[in-house]
Amino acid sequence: MASTDGAAGFPGVVPAVEIRGLVKWYGAHPALRGVDLCVGPGEILALFGPNGAGKSTLLRILAGLVRPTAGSVRVAGFEVGKHSDGVRRVIGVLAHGHQLYETLTGRENLQFAATMLGLDRPVDRVAGVLAKVGLEAAADGRVRTFSSGMKRRLALAKLMLREPRVMLLDEPFTNLDLQATKLLEEFLMASKTTGVTTVLATHNVTMGFAVADRMAVLEQGRLVFDARRDEVSRESLRSLFTIQGELWGDE
């Protein structure tokens, strides 16, 4: 099993994500109780855990959307909270909610994103990502009329538009059909080859195991497991997922 001390796993390499002693309390409820974790450049980390384990909170802290109670977090060298502008420039988030405006068309949503990102040649870039996710034909329809799967694809197109260095994905495989799942898998693999780091929180053991280099398990706000893929079998990982006879996941 790999250690959770993180930096020791990347001698001489600046981690893309570095979390030290992370604690988060929501009122009297502890969401994270001292998490230490490092993710190297180009690495894909799958974060598993039951509902309420703190996965989404961890991703939200990494994205700078939630302030930690204690501890330090660095993303691509930028300290979250102190250099939030830098963090926002390098991250891409695929959230549980699709973050799309339903009264706008698919294309308008992406054009709005391109303007907010300050991209050059926005029309070409938008057309390019729409083609990648196979939504060219439907792009001029309002998002309200899209199926859940189409909305996820459009959210993926928005993520592609950002060209992030660190991707934070919350349940990315939810509501995806086989074709879209394959598309996401290919995108993750292609991003990995260009050095993009990915942290994905998922219940889906099969998909998490298929794409990740490393698996970690959060339980009640603590990191209870952290191993490289070649150090763990899918079955042993799945067995970890059974708590009192109930499977966490949606498998």
Q: Site size for other proteins, by CB under 8 A?
A: 29
Shortest distance (Å) from residue 210 CB to other proteins: 26
Shortest distance (Å) from residue 130 CB to other proteins: 18
Query: Segment near other proteins (CB under 8 A), from 3-11, 80-88, 185-193, 194-202?
Result: 80-88
Contacts of 16 (CB under 8 A, 6+ apart): 39, 40, 41, 42, 43, 75, 76, 165, 166, 197
Identity of the residue, 95 or 138, whose beta carbon is nearer to other proteins in the bound complex? 95
Query: Segment near other proteins (CB under 8 A), from 40-48, 88-96, 179-187, 208-216?
Result: 88-96
Q: Which of 17, 38, 91, 180 binds other proteins (CB under 8 A)?
A: 91
Query: Segment near other proteins (CB under 8 A), from 2-10, 31-39, 60-68, 123-131?
Result: 60-68
27 belongs to the binding site for other proteins (CB under 8 A):
no
Distance CA 73, CA 163 (A): 22
65 belongs to the binding site for other proteins (CB under 8 A):
yes
Contacts of 66 (CB under 8 A, 6+ apart): 24, 57, 60
Shortest distance (Å) from residue 117 CB to other proteins: 6
Q: By CB under 8 A, name the binding residues for other proteins.
A: 63-67, 84-85, 88-89, 91, 93, 95-104, 108, 112-113, 115-118, 142
